[in-house]
Amino acid sequence: MKAKKSLGQHFLRDKGILKKIANFADIKKEDVVLEVGPGGGSLTELLLEKSKMVIAIEKDKRMVELLKEKFSKEIKEGKLEVVEGDILDLKLGEPEKSPVRKTFAARRRENSKNSAEFYACLSNRSFSLAQDYILVGNIPYYITGALFKKALGSQNPPKSITFVVQKEVAERIMTKNNRPARPNGHSGRESILSISIKAYGKPEYGGIIKAGSFYPKPKVDSAMISIRNINKENFKNISETKFFEILKAGFAHKRKLLIRNLDKFKKKEEIKEIFGKGNISEKTRAENLSVENWIFLAKELQKDYQGSFPL
């Protein structure tokens, strides 16, 4: 079946690489997997072998029909649920308020007491998800940032995420202590994306996937990346909204010193005191700070702040 360029489709057919992705996701038999963009189901097949259940979200109607035919047995057994729609439209934790039709699998598990569950909604269908579900996918490059933001910032985030993304993006996320994650890799500077992800969990690099492993062949190499131990511990004493307003302000003008980018929150002298308290140089720029530095700054800058944080 021909890939749709408009959907950013690049299919993986190398069984060895598909197995590496499934293994890297670290799925246990009791896990529920939410798969993004299953395509023809090559990875889906491996995820089904490793998990309790797979819920596959597919935007391409052609692929939805193919998956339903290919995995009719697994669907009847309640091992697989195929939902047509755009993953970016997925609503987590709210559909009980919406007049949606519950799928068979959702109804069947409604009375299950094995694990805590919540409802998700997409395309007027609702389905239940274990609260510790795993998110996996060979995703289109163009939705990478938006999908990370949606999943990590949701009311019910996954316990881990494993994606195939553009190699350069994976290396940007893995940046640590101002050094490149891999030889000849990224410059080592932090970004809004890398800090945003590290605020929620620990990223792990799974290795490069050459462009030739995909059909059609993309212009760049890809890489596997996982975000483990996802939680919101960093936001116990500060709201996510406030943290990200401060983070965005810090990165707003990359050439400026950070202390100047943050002057909307407090007077310069007060910011200098905060920097001293956190052992942060007044000459530093946003890209030089770790996620721990940012959490510290957010906690300090929100104190007695009289401005208006957007809700």
Residue 70, strand partner residues:
none
Question: Are 199 and 172 a contacting pair, CB within 8 Å?
Answer: no
Q: Is 111 annotated as a binding residue?
A: no
Q: Which two tokens stand for residue 11?
A: 């299919």
Q: Is 250 annotated as a binding residue?
A: no
Give Cα 263 distance to the centre of its chain: 31
Q: Distance between CA atoms of 27 and 22, rounded to whole angstroms?
A: 8
Specify the residue for token string 């491996």: 46
Q: Distance between CA atoms of 35 and 42, rounded to whole angstroms?
A: 12
Residue 5, strand partner residues:
none
B/e letters for 97-133, b = 16+ CB within 10 Å, e = fewer, are: eeebebbebbeebeeeeeeebbbbbbeebbbbbbebb
Q: Distance between CA atoms of 96 and 152, rounded to whole angstroms?
A: 21
Q: Is 253 annotated as a binding residue?
A: no
Q: Is 31 annotated as a binding residue?
A: no
Question: Are 222 and 165 a contacting pair, CB within 8 Å?
Answer: yes
Specify the residue for token string 């057919």: 13
* DSSP class of 3: P
* DSSP class of 263: T
Q: Within 10 A of 241 (CB to CB), how many other CB atoms are there?
A: 13
Q: Which two tokens stand for residue 225?
A: 């990346």
Binding-site positions? 10, 12, 37, 58, 86, 138
Binding-site positions for S-adenosyl-L-methionine? 10, 12, 37, 58, 86, 138
